[in-house]
Structure 1
């Protein structure tokens, strides 16, 4: 029961953070939102390492560094996608990211279970349904779908890289991933000559994104220590539901029956992939 509560808490925090990230990106450049939220998360993880006194591993942290960059790009695509499109469309598509580590496992000789193949089919079907603009003869892709697919790819790569590095130390792997993402964002800010200034009215939402994201990571780490990894993965993969509910309650988003069904199908596929 403890693992279930923690995993659901992580999903709720991730979903809330994604909603705030997408909402804030409608008023502020995505690089600024990412920089401050990731920097705050790095500070929180540094405290976690200090408290746990974890021993630093060696070159395996290169996997974590790559994961951090992929994660930052994925979040940037997700937030921007939700800024220009419907959150109820973008969030479920981004949740299909478990397909990536599954395919990596296939290349390593690990054959997926029948449930996982079914999950891939459901996830792809859900993406097709939720991505189409209603009406008209020609099929038109909804706004934000391309960014959502790129976010799913990057999130999948993040899981692969972090999983490799976490075999030695979960704390240092997480910290290295977050440090590399912050460093990449500093470079991006300098390259684009973007000053990381945040209007006073947006300081709290931007910082809240970092608090929710970091809190979700901590809850997920604790959940894996109290229960089955498969169960934890499935429950934490439900984070888009929080985003969709908040978008409906706050922004009054209405997706229609077909898109709602498509989102649920995509989420079901992601859950089956994680459960397998």
Structure 2
């Protein structure tokens, strides 16, 4: 059961990333963020209130969830923009390297990684280097590719911050962690929209983007349930494979093609993520 739930979560995350990336090619990224985060927030608030989940006992957990939400939305904004202008098959695996950030922070503060984790970190670095070696037809596409790579790396940092900052609050209350994280992000995104005044999508497209937020929320719920049903290391590895779904969708729907060295890089990056999660 845990394996099936973790795989379903990975597929849901990969699908939501792909759909949000497509939407970001037609709609301003801040608008996509607002609709995705808002759509998920409506659902999680209803679930939290109906379930009667207890709020945090510690104010530290509350503020950590808020900080995690801000880090996450910054990472998500960079990620969506990278998906919009870059090659999804490359962007998605690089952004997933964010799971390594808490490990790197731990090493910097004196923790010694396991041999498995050390190999995983090395594989991620090598994979990012290889995956980023794209060939471009002209200077404009080359510039877009470099920008997408930088944004993907920044999104990895943002996601890593989210994982690190929401770890303790999630132990206290997963529903309230999600509510606080998404609520903290919305005023920031709304302020960006108010300043830039981007065009809004048609009603049907807007509702579709909001539904993407519900898919993302479903993935979070599935992985949380999987953690209670099976071994954490196995669930973490399988859940971390969500970029595979994005890569496959990009190949089938967008007909993206990557060179052999990039394929090796993508496999190395995803394998490194799996090793870090398992370690």
Same fold (TM over 0.5): yes
Give 2:261's aligned residue: 258
1:124 equivalenced with 2:125 (yes/no)? yes
Q: Deviation at 1:42?
A: 0.5
CA contact (8 A) 1:17 1:208 kept: no
- Write the deviation string for residues 200-250 of structure 1: whole angstroms up to 9, x where unpaired: 352343123212111111111111111121111110110000001101111
CA contact (8 A) 1:77 1:151 kept: yes
Alpha-carbon distance in structure 2 between the residues aligned to 1:107 and 1:165: 23
Structure 1 unaligned spans of 5+? none
Q: 1:145 aligns with which of 142, 149, 153?
A: 149
Give 2:175's aligned residue: 171
Q: Deviation at 1:188?
A: 1.8
Q: Deviation at 1:175?
A: 1.1
CA contact (8 A) 1:131 1:145 kept: yes
Task: Compare the two structures and name the one with the higher helix fraction.
Answer: 2
Give 2:53's aligned residue: 54
Q: Deviation at 1:194?
A: 3.7
Runs of 4+ with deviation above 4 angstroms? none
Alpha-carbon distance in structure 1 between the residues aligned to 2:182 and 2:126: 33
Q: 1:211 aligns with which of 214, 225, 249?
A: 214
SS at match of 1:274: helix
1:135 to 1:211, Cα distance in 2 relative to 1, 3 A? closer
Matches within 5 A, 1:1-276: 2-57=1-56, 58-59=58-59, 60-134=61-135, 142-143=145-146, 144-194=148-198, 197-276=200-279
Q: Deviation at 1:135?
A: 8.0
Q: Deviation at 1:125?
A: 0.1
Which stretch shows the higher mean deviation, 79-88 or 56-65?
Answer: 56-65
Alpha-carbon distance in structure 1 between the residues aligned to 2:136 and 2:252: 25
Alpha-carbon distance in structure 1 between the residues aligned to 2:158 and 2:136: 31
CA contact (8 A) 2:40 2:210 kept: no
Structure 2 unaligned spans of 5+? none
Cα RMSD over matched residues?
A: 1.7
Alpha-carbon distance in structure 1 between the residues aligned to 2:168 and 2:162: 10
SS at match of 1:97: helix
SS at match of 2:81: helix
Alpha-carbon distance in structure 2 between the residues aligned to 1:135 and 1:74: 26
CA contact (8 A) 2:96 2:243 kept: yes
CA contact (8 A) 2:35 2:206 kept: no
- Write the deviation string for residues 253-273 of structure 1: whole angstroms up to 9, x where unpaired: 011211111101100001100
CA contact (8 A) 1:20 1:205 kept: no
Q: Deviation at 1:16?
A: 0.4
Which stretch shows the higher mean deviation, 243-252 or 42-51?
Answer: 42-51
CA contact (8 A) 1:11 1:242 kept: yes
